[in-house]
Amino acid sequence: MHANSAEKKSKLTFWIIVSMVLGFAVGLFIFYNTQSSFHVAFSKNIKLLGTIFIRLVQMIISPLVFSTLVVGIAKLGDLKAVGRVGGKAMLWFITASLASLLIGLLLVNFFEPGKAIIIQHADEKGLEDLINKTQEFSVSKFIEHVIPRSVFEAMASNEILQLVIFSIFFGVATAAIGEKAKPIIKALDIFSEIILKMVGYVMNFAPLGVFGTIAAVVAKNGPGIFKFYGVYFLYFLIGIAILWIILYTVGLMILRKRMPELLKAIRNPLLIAFSTTSSEAVFPKLTYELERFGCKDKIVSFILPLGYSFNLDGSMMYMTFASLSIAQIYGIDLPIATQLTMLLVLMLTSKGIAGVPRASLVVVLATCAMFKIPPEGVALILPIDHFCDMFRSATNVLGNALATTVVSKWEGELTPAIVDEI
């Protein structure tokens, strides 16, 4: 099943790259062989392909967040019963998530990768209004974004943070009811699987979206976008390297000499996640390796599934990096206060949809919509996303393996590794 999934991902990546090349070629032809007035008209029309793809993604965001988050919380059961282990795990998850998000934020502000290509909006007045609305974002408006008047209104307008708040209340209440709520949990679990299947269908439109968006940008702005891809990927790799150094250093402080052993133990899951761009595909293998490393099965079976929803360090770093880069592409200057608000929003909105293919892009899209950043920017970063995803996925595996091992150590449940007998 995983092999089939990896093959489909590989085909999708191939067609995205083909679409990017075709879009670039068509855009260059239009840019160099037609008048500027035609550039604008062609760009406006061909961009509709990107709009179709973006709207299809937006269509599934609300049901996806609601179903996966409620099921994730409800399956935890009585939060009091989780006790010390849950508290220590959440402390690690929140700290690691904030650190990852902050790294992405600092890198984007320092390197400014989005300024490698500044895309002029067709509607200058619209862009001006966009910037003004973004700068006016305040604490009072944030509160309005947090507390929903109606869950249906939040779903209809894709107010993702409001939906998260409702889902948290709904999930906790469902868990508190206990046995009576099991049919609801099962139904939502099936519902989330259906939505995830829909995500796969929607991603099949990604090549069309990429072609339309790239052709539109190149036809209107010229070939400068490929400079952006090189700069974007380079600075992203710097961020991943910094994150690995921090994770390894913290692991070394807590696990001491066993930290290098941990890296050796999880080398196969790391490699599989890197090559398939799927951290979930290695879940069974990672569980097996961590138990062999010396983590108790009761700790692994609790922390690891929780980590796949709440502790995706590589993806978290990418979310601030991508969101702010897109804002820079469109020349939108976000004040530091707004950026910190975005960081906290991402902290909440990123939870619960770990199993989604290209989950980071779904969250980035929702965040861009909330902060009035043009959503078509997501289609611009899609061609390079597969390569970013390879490093994100491996980092997610490292972060979850480290979290599980550290909590095991704190609980005094970390035993010597099982050595194969020859």
Alpha helices in 222-312 (DSSP H): 225-255, 258-265, 267-276, 283-293, 297-310
What per-residue confidence (pLDDT) applies to 102? 92
Least confident residue range of 86-90, 181-185, 335-339:
86-90
Collapsed DSSP state (helix, strand, coil) of residue 42: helix
- The arithmetic mean of pLDDT across residues 165-182, rounded, is 83
Q: ∠ CA(376), CA(374), CA(42), 5° rounding?
A: 50
Closest CA to 273 of 313, 230, 321, 317: 313
- Does any domain span residue 420? no
CA dist., res. 326 & res. 197, Å (int): 28
| Confidence at 248, pLDDT banded by 50, 70, 90 | very high
Q: Does the pLDDT value for residue 388 go beyond 60?
A: yes
CA dist., res. 214 & res. 225, Å (int): 9
> What is the rounded average pLDDT for all residues in the chain?
79
- Does any domain span residue 421? no
CA dist., res. 422 & res. 328, Å (int): 57
Least confident residue range of 103-112, 248-257, 337-346:
337-346
> Could you tell me how far CA 381 lies from the centroid of its own chain?
13
Alpha helices in 75-181 (DSSP H): 79-111, 124-135, 139-146, 151-156, 160-177
Query: pLDDT tens, 70-98?
Result: 776 676 555 664 566 778 888 898 899 88
Q: Which residues form the domain of 64? A: 2-410
- Does any domain span residue 386? yes
Cβ(105)–Cβ(320) under 8 Å?
yes
- Does any domain span residue 422? no
- Does any domain span residue 25? yes
- Does any domain span residue 255? yes
Query: pLDDT tens, 291-304?
Result: 889 888 777 777 77
Count up the domains in the chain and report the number.
1
CA dist., res. 393 & res. 278, Å (int): 6
What per-residue confidence (pLDDT) applies to 254? 92
Give the CATH number of the domain where residue 264 resides.
1.10.3860
CA dist., res. 419 & res. 422, Å (int): 9
- Does any domain span residue 79? yes
- Does any domain span residue 415? no
What per-residue confidence (pLDDT) applies to 239? 94
Q: Does the pLDDT value for residue 355 go beyond 70?
A: no
Query: pLDDT tens, 122-158?
Result: 334 333 443 343 434 445 655 766 788 888 888 887 6
